[in-house]
Structure 1
Amino acid sequence: MIKDVTRFVPPYILSRCAYSPGYQPANHKDLIKLNTNENPFPPSPTVSDAVQNEISNLHLYPEPYSQKLRDLIASKHSLSEEQVIIGNGSDDLLNLCVRAFADTNRMVGMLEPSYSLYPTLTSLQRSKVSKVEFLNDEFKLPVEEITKSGVNLFFLTNPHAPSGRYFDQESVFSIASEINAILVVDEAYADFSIENSIPLLDKANNLVITRTLSKSYSLAGSRVGFAISSPEIISILDSVREVYNLDRMSQAAAFAALSDVHYFEDCRRKILEEREKAYTFFTQLGWRTIESHANFILTEPINATGQVGKKSASSLFNYLEKNNIHVRYFHNHRLTESKIRISIGTERQMNALYQTINKWCNEES
C-alpha cells in the first residue's frame, strides 16, 4: 500500500483553494432557503414532460453540440448559431474561457469582491489573478483600473455579485474598447436587469457574454448555461470543450424552459415585485441597501442600539439560521463583512423573513 498518495499530486494543485458553495441542506422541509440565488419557483410545467420523454433514450449519447439549443438561443437574440455555445452551467463556459485564454504567462482579472469561482478556475491553469478593488461599498465600476490591469482575460459580473449593482452599457463598451484582452461579461443575473451587453457584440469582437438558466429559468439542478460571442471566439471555446458536455435530459429541459416565454415572464415579474418590496422594507428600517438589478439584495443590518458592522451582520445571520432561514454572509471582505445577501423568495418566504428580522431587532434591544 502507498502511504502518501499526495506525493503524486502537482504542488500547484495541493496549494490551491477549492471553491466553497453556499450551504445546501439535505432536507428542505420547514426551511426557507435564501442563500444561493436560486429561483423560488419550479421550472415551467413543460419541462417535466420534455425530461420524461428523454428517459427511454438514455442508452444513447446526447447530441454533442446541443444544436437545437444553439439554434433556439441564436433565434431569441437575433444571432447566428455560430455565435452560441452551450455549457454544463455557465461555470463550464467560464472554465472554457480560462482554459482557452489563460496560462502561466497570461493573467486573469476580476473585480474584488466578485464571484469567488474565478480564482479557483484560474489556479487550475496555473495562471495568476489580478484583482481590481472597488473604492468603497458603493461598488461603482472602476473603468480605468480595469482597462489598465494588464491581463489577458477579464471577468466582469454584470449585474455585479454580491452587490446587485448594475453597470451601464456605456461603461462596459468603454472597457471592451480600451482593454487589450478578452472581456467576459458574466450575465448570470441579466434577466432581472434593465439592459444587457448583447447589442455590444457587433462593436466589440473581444467580448464574450455568459448566461445561466439556473436563476431566471429555474434550472439550477439541471446545470445549463450558454455563451455568445463572435464566431471566431466560439470556435476557440468549442475546441477546448468536453465532448457530450450536456446530457440529454438537460438539453430537453433547457429547450422547454426557453420556449415557455409566458411562464418565464410571469416568474420574473413576481421576483421583481418581491425585490421591490424587500428594498422598501430594508430602507424603511434605515438599513443601507443597494438598489439591486439581480434576484437578490445586499443590505447592512442595524441593531436596536444603532450599531452596524461585522458584529451586527453576524448576529442577524446566526439568528436567521437558528430560525431556519438561510441567507449568505460574506465575512471575509471589508466591503461585505457588515452586510448580508438575501435571495428573493416567494411572498410567503419573504414575509416570514421580515417577521423574523423584526423579532431580531426587538431582541437585540
Structure 2
Amino acid sequence: MAPYLPPPRLGGGRVISLDANESPFDLPERVRQKFLGRIRRLVFNRYPDGPSTELRRAVGRRLGVPADWIVAGSGSDELIGCLIDAFVPRGGQVVVPDPTFVMYERLARIRGARVVQLPLNESFDLTDAFRNPKLLRGAALWFFAYPNNPTANCFSREILIDICRRAQGVVVVDEAYVDFSGKTFLPLLRRFPNLVILRTFSKALGIALGRVGLAIACPRLTRFLHVVRLPYNLSGLGQALALTTLSESGAIRKNIRTILSERQALLRRLAGWCSDAPSLAACRTDANFVLVRCSAAKKLFEFLRARGILIKTFSETKLRSFVRITVGRPAEMRRLAKALGELEERGCHP
C-alpha cells in the first residue's frame, strides 16, 4: 500500500483552495485573542487532560448528550482507526459504500480487516445490497458518511435506519458536514445501541489545523474506544482551540449561512453552464462542496490551476470524469465564476 500523501498546499495569497472541503473562513481576531488567553493558562511541562473532560462536557451541553457518551480524538481519522481497533477482529468484515471517504477503507486494510465495498447506484445512493442478510449478520463494522464525501448527498435515511436496526455489528454515521445538511442521526442514539456518530471541528467550525474529532455513542461502545485510544491522544492546544471555538457559535453560524448562500449561487451558475453543455452535470449537494460531472475533468483542473484556483480531481475510474468544488468565500467564488465565464466566452465546455 502506497503512503497517503495529500496534495501540497501552494503558497501565495492569490491561490484559492477549493479542493479540501475546509471552511474558507479563518478565525476572527477576537477569537484568536481569546484562544491566546486560554493558552496562557496552560501548563506546558505537564501532559494534557487525557480524556478531554472539559471539552466533552462542553460538547455534551451543546448536543444534549452526557459527557460519557463522547470520545474526543485527534481528528476523525484517529477515531476511525479506534473504531476498527475496538470492534473489528483481524480478518473481520468492514462494509463501506463505493465511492466514499477513502480513510474508511485504508485504515481498515492497514489493520488487517476484510473490506466489503458496495457500489452506490447512479444517483450515488444506497442499494438493497446493503441489506444483504449475510452482511447484516457477519459484518463487524459499517461506515457511512452522511453527507457522503465525495458525492455530497445524504444517503437514504430509510435504508440507514434499517441497517442500524438489523445489523449485528457497529454502524458508524460520519456527520462531518452536518452543519451544511441539517440532517443528523443524533436523536436515534438511544434507540440504536450499535450506532456511533462522528463529528469534526475541521469543517463548519473552521479549525482544521487543530485536528479535533468526536465519536458519540452509548457508554457500552465509548468504553471500548477509551480502551484503544492513546492516553493523551488530543493535545492541550487542540482542546483549548476547540473549547474557544465552541464559545463563539454566533460567528460560526454567520459563516455557515454565507457558505450555504454561496453554494446556491454556485449551483445556479453551474445549472446555467450545464444547460449549454450536455457533458456537464452538477450533482445534488447537502455539503459545503459540489460534485460536477465533467468529461474533461483534467483539462478543467489545469485551466483553473493556471488561474490560481484549485479544485479536486479523482484517479478512481468511476470518478475520473468528475471534479469536486468546495464552496469558498464570496470573493473566491467570484474569481471562480470569472474563470468559468472565460471558458464560456471561448465557447469551451469541459
Q: Output the TM-score relative to the length of structure 2.
A: 0.92
**Corresponding residue for 1:354?**
337
1:68 to 46, 49, 54: 54
> Is this contact kept in 2: 1:282–1:289, CA < 8 A?
yes
Measured after TM superposition, the shift of residue 330 of structure 1 is: 1.2
**Corresponding residue for 2:293?**
300
**Corresponding residue for 2:217?**
229
**Structure 1's 48 and 18: CA in aligned 2 closer, same or farther, altered over 3 A?**
farther
SS of alignment partner, residue 285 of structure 1: helix
**Structure 1's 324 and 99: CA in aligned 2 closer, same or farther, altered over 3 A?**
same
1:123-162 matches, cutoff 5 A = 123-136=109-122, 138-148=123-133, 149=135, 150-162=138-150
**Corresponding residue for 1:290?**
283
**Corresponding residue for 2:256?**
268
The one-character-per-residue Cα deviations of 1:249-304 (angstroms, maximum 9, x if unpaired) are 11011011112111111011000000111111101112311221111111123xxx
> Is this contact kept in 2: 1:51–1:250, CA < 8 A?
no
**Corresponding residue for 1:332?**
316
> Is this contact kept in 2: 1:319–1:360, CA < 8 A?
no
Measured in 2, the distance between the counterparts of 1:102 and 1:19 equals: 22
Measured in 2, the distance between the counterparts of 1:142 and 1:25 equals: 37
SS of alignment partner, residue 78 of structure 2: helix
5+ residue gaps, structure 1: 1-15, 302-308
Measured in 1, the distance between the counterparts of 2:105 and 2:130 equals: 19
> Is this contact kept in 1: 2:200–2:214, CA < 8 A?
yes
Measured after TM superposition, the shift of residue 76 of structure 1 is: 1.3
**Corresponding residue for 2:236?**
248
1:17 partner amino acid: A
> Is this contact kept in 2: 1:47–1:253, CA < 8 A?
no
The one-character-per-residue Cα deviations of 1:125-173 (angstroms, maximum 9, x if unpaired) are 111111010122x112225425543421011010011111112433321
Number of equivalent positions: 338
Measured in 1, the distance between the counterparts of 2:96 and 2:4 equals: 16
Measured in 2, the distance between the counterparts of 1:48 and 1:40 equals: 20
Q: Are residues 1:345 and 2:328 paired?
A: yes
**Corresponding residue for 2:277?**
none
1:53 to 29, 38, 52: 38
**Superposition RMSD on alpha carbons, in Å?**
1.7
- Give percent identity, aligned residues only: 28
2:299 to 315, 333, 357: 315
**Corresponding residue for 1:13?**
none
